[in-house]
Amino acid sequence: MFKNLFKKNNSINQEQKTMTFEEIINSEQPILLDFFATWCGPCQMMGPILQQVKEELGDEVKILKVDIDKYKDLAAKYQVQSVPTFAIFKNSQLL
């Protein structure tokens, strides 16, 4: 529902319509990142809450989920120590 796919490297694959992480966070629109793990119970409980946030804010914010087991490099880059962890970006800046 919130998942947007992006590639680990800096190339764009137009056929799959994926974006790099840098392209995603380089947006005028605020981006809420949910760093989660599939094995994390509290992470699973955040789904309905994030859905409510999306319903209330609509197109004012984009919500993306980042699986820390698949994207370990991003979790390390943003020093994710536990899950769930949330980060908000705008114009490539962590707010």
Q: Give the residue numbers annotated as catalytic, written as ranges.
A: 40, 43
C-alpha span between 55 and 28 (Å, rounded): 20
Please give the torsion angle defined by the CA atoms of residues 88, 92, 94 and 95, in that order, rounded to the nearest 10 degrees: -70
Adjacent-strand bridge partners of 62: 31
